[in-house]
Amino acid sequence: MALSVLSVVSEIYPLIKTGGLADVAGALPPALAAQGVAVHSVVPGYPAVLRALEGAQEAARFDELWGGPARLMAGRAAGLDLFVIDAPHLYARPGDPYRGPDGADWPDNWSRFAALSRVAERIARGVVPGYAPDAVHAHDWQAGLTPAFLHYTPGRPVGSVMTIHNLAFQGQYPPRLLGLLGLPAAAWSIGGVEYYGGIGYLKAGVQLADRITTVSPSYAEEIQTAAGGMGMDGLLRQRGAVLSGILNGIDTTVWNPATDPALPAGFEPGKLEGRGACKLALQARLGLTVDPGAMVIGVVSRLTWQKGMDLLLGALPVLLGEGAQLALLGSGDAGLQQGFVAAAAAHPGRVGVEVGYDEGLAHLIQAGSDVAAVPSRFEPCGLTQLCALRYGALPLVARVGGLTDTVIDASEVAVAAGVGTGMMFAPVTLEALEAAIKRAARLWRRQATWRTLQANAMATDVGWERSAGRYAALFRELAGVEAESVIKVVRRPALVGAAGFEPTTPSPPD
Ligand code: ADP
């Protein structure tokens, strides 16, 4: 029997993406299908998602979903099985999933994502005829209320997994919203949704899900400490027995240097001529001096404090002093954007910066850089260093979270043993970053050693198979299905017509 899982998520690649969450949400379903787990994803009906939906059928209807009616559309897009919440009053807006064009969070995000979780609970409970998932997989705070709705609403029991992709985003709202969420008074407790005097969406999920995962083993440890727990470490320690870290992978068909359409030339381990062409193309594209001998340090990142981008800006004099070039693509904090743009203007040919979001350039940077810098202050898993490994750019990373779990530091011992894949530094300070850049430059001057490290990097297993197996085991455990009994055939549940009306509006506050 194939297992059926409902994934609850606020962004999904390639339909809508602001970061790694979307990559994971888009890559896990095909990886799980290979493990005999059929995933349907329920996502908000942003315009881009509704546009992409093929063969959409109305699967359910909600008369009132926090301010208006909604339809649940079932269909496929980009190979994914989707339930899309068509609720124009909540999701038909410009901007990214969370913010308007002015960059400010939508003031009704509390209801936009409560709706996502409530609809997920309704689906899990059978609102779509013929569909009954064995487990629910909630991603991040936007889906955090799903385990709470499952817990406080009667219905068939369905196990839930809460995955923390980034503990920094918790979804905290004022207590006066409790009644508007349709949760019973009993939910207002330390064992429920209450969190430091407010309502915590992620906290609710962490509290009430049957299993909790996060995206790397090291981050699973860090978030249980006061230093890394961001206020939730006590609860995470308390739930430690059901908390585990499952490392993210990347979609190795999207990130395949041999076939990548964004590159001027393909390459693969042992056949790196095309990589040289990518480097020259990258240098030309970003206005860098075209020079195969210069070490290019690439960055594809949100420009934020978390990502240590202020440290990178501070380390520029050392980077330039070592004769390296910087190729940076990113967007985020206005101050950091301005800082990098000013650096590019001050160092023409040495610092190339593009502010914005550009998938194609992100691929070219990974393919054309020699080093990929990820100096994050904390990093749940990090995907860009995985892309870099596959594309033969040596990650230069802070020793935090998933970066620790995915890169082998090229210490002299590791180099002698022939096992390094990148450069790691700690603590996350300017001085340590500068020292790591100097170390990278020394290694760059030892080209034979560099080639060995690069070959090691490219041989690293960065795909999803192993981790998808771990998720599949977790779902099976929740569903009480023995692994041995799973037949590796993926069944697509039939969606027959529209379901009946299901009011989901909670009672007004008392
Ligand atoms: P985050 O914390 O931002 O989710 P991850 O490393 O987990 O960090 O994932 C970031 C993802 O977003 C990667 O796929 C990366 O290539 C992509 N990305 C980040 N910034 C940009 C950008 N400016 N343009 C294109 N892709 C980007």
Alpha-carbon distance 138 to 6, whole Å?
8
Distance from residue 299's CA to the centre of ligand 1 (Å): 10
On whether residue 215 sits in a domain, the answer given is yes
Looking at the structure, do residues 92 and 136 belong to the same domain, yes or no?
yes
Give residues with Cβ within 8 angstroms of 287, minimum separation 6: 344, 348, 349, 352
Ligand 1 mean position, distance from CA 16 (Å) = 13
Q: Do 453 and 469 reside in the same domain of the chain?
A: no
Task: Yes or no: say if 129 and 499 are a contact pair by the CB < 8 Å rule.
Answer: yes
pLDDT of 493 over the 70 cut: no
Bridge-based pairing of strands 423-425 and 70-77 is unpaired
Distance CA 380, CA 139 (A): 13
Q: Worst-scoring range by mean pLDDT, 259-268, 345-354, 472-481?
A: 472-481
290 & 404 share domain: yes
Substitution site in 11, 300, 462 for ligand 1 pocket (most atoms within 8 Å of beta carbon): 300
Shortest-distance Cα residue to atom 20 of ligand 1:
301
Residue 387 resides in a domain: yes
Token code pair at residue 111: 């209801």
Number of domains in the chain: 2
Q: Of ligand 1's atoms, which has the minimum distance to the CA of residue 381?
A: 7
Q: How far apart are CA 441 and CA 399, in angstroms?
A: 19
pLDDT for 2 equals 87
Q: For a pocket test of ligand 1, which of 10, 11, 23 has the largest count of ligand atoms closer than 8 A to its C-beta? A: 23
Closest ligand 1 atom number to CA of residue 166: 2
User: Rounded to the nearest whole angstrom, what is the distance from the C-alpha of residue 157 to the centroid of ligand 1?
Assistant: 36
Distance CA 55, CA 76 (A): 7
Q: Do 338 and 445 fall into the same domain?
A: yes
- Average pLDDT for 441-462: 98
Distance 382 CA to ligand 1 centre (A): 8
Residue to mutate, 16, 98, 355, 357, ligand 1, most ligand atoms under 8 Å from C-beta: 357
3-class state of residue 454 by DSSP: helix
Rounded to whole angstroms, the Cα distance separating 214 from 216 reads 6
Which pLDDT score is estimated for 95?
Answer: 85
pLDDT-based confidence at residue 495 (cuts at 50, 70, 90): very low
pLDDT tens-digit map of 185-223: 999 999 999 999 999 999 999 999 999 999 999 999 999
Say yes or no: 193 and 324 in one domain: no
User: For residue 88, is pLDDT > 80?
Assistant: yes
Hey, which residues does 325 pair with through a beta bridge?
Answer: 296
Rounded to the nearest angstrom, the distance between the alpha carbon of 18 and the centre of ligand 1 is 7
Q: Does residue 201 fall inside a structural domain?
A: yes
* CA 395 – ligand 1 centroid, Å: 15
User: What H or E segment, with its residue span, contains residue 320?
Assistant: helix 316-321
212 part of a folded domain = yes
pLDDT greater than 70 at residue 240 = yes
The full 3-state SS of 81-149, as one line of letters, equals: EEEEEECHHHHCCCCCCCECCCCCECCCHHHHHHHHHHHHHHHHCCCCCCCCCCEEEEECHHHCHHHHH
Across the range 91-96, mean pLDDT stands at: 93
478 and 450 together in one domain: no
Q: What b/e sequence results for 95-130 when a residue is b if at least 16 CB atoms lie within 10 Å of its CB, and e otherwise? A: ebbbeeeeeeebeebbbbbbbbbbbbbbbbbebbbe
Q: How confident is the model at residue 482 (pLDDT cuts 50, 70, 90)?
A: low
Here the CATH number for the domain that contains residue 305 is 3.40.50.2000
What is the overall mean pLDDT for the chain? Answer: 94
pLDDT above 80 (res 14): yes
Work out the pLDDT band at 506, boundaries 50, 70, 90: very low
Pocket mutation for ligand 1, best pick of 383, 386, 400 (most atoms within 8 Å of C-beta): 383
Q: Quick check: helix, strand or coil at residue 226?
A: coil
Residue 297 lies inside a defined structural domain of this protein:
yes
Nearest to 214, CA basis, from 246, 242, 241, 239: 246
Assigned domain for 268 exists: no
Q: What is the tens place of the pLDDT at every residue in 248-271? A: 999 999 999 999 999 999 999 999
pLDDT of 501 > 90? The answer is no
Domain range spanning residue 379?
273-458
Residue nearest ligand 1's atom 22 by CA:
357
Go through the chain and tell me how many residues it has: 510
β-bridge partners, 300? 329
Contact by Cβ (8 Å): 41, 5: no
* Nearest atom of ligand 1 to the alpha carbon of 13: 14
**Ligand 1 centroid, distance to 265 Cα (angstroms):** 23
Q: What b/e sequence results for 142-176 when a residue is b if at least 16 CB atoms lie within 10 Å of its CB, and e otherwise? A: bbbbbbbbbbbbeeeebbbbbbbbbbebbbbbeee
How confident is the model at residue 370, as a pLDDT? Answer: 98
430 and 468 within one domain? no
| pLDDT confidence tier of residue 318, bands split at 50, 70 and 90 | very high
Q: Does 496 map to a domain?
A: no
Mean pLDDT value of segment 121-126: 98
The stretch 33-46 carries a mean pLDDT of: 98
In which residue are the tokens 């001085």 written?
Answer: 431
330 C-alpha vs ligand 1 centroid, how far in Å? 8
CB 93 within 8 A of CB 100: yes
| Average pLDDT rounded to a whole number, residues 4-26 | 97
Residue nearest to atom 19 of ligand 1 (CA): 301
Pocket-testing residue among 302, 331, 407, ligand 1, by greatest number of atoms within 8 A of Cβ? 302
- Please indicate, yes or no, whether residues 281 and 200 belong to a single structural domain of this protein: no
pTM: 0.93
Across the range 137-150, mean pLDDT stands at 98
Residue with tokens 């990929």: 372
**pLDDT number for residue 278:** 98
What are the pLDDT digits (tens) for 403-416?
Answer: 999 999 999 999 99
In a domain, 506, yes or no: no
Asked if 374 contacts 385 with a C-beta cutoff of 8 angstroms, the reply is: yes
pLDDT-above-90 percentage for the chain: 93
Identify whether residues 325 and 373 lie together within a single domain.
yes
Model pLDDT for residues 354-391, shown as the tens digit of each residue: 999 999 999 999 999 999 999 999 999 999 999 999 99
Closest CA to 119 of 469, 509, 503, 431: 503
Binding-site residues, ligand 1, Cβ < 6 A: 19-20, 23, 300-302, 329-331, 357-359, 362, 382-384
> What percent of the chain stands above pLDDT 70?
94
3-state secondary structure 333-346: CHHHHHHHHHHHHH
Q: Are residues 13 and 118 in the same domain?
A: yes
Phi, then psi, of 16 in degrees rounded to 5:
-155, 130
> Is residue 103 located within the same domain as residue 144?
yes
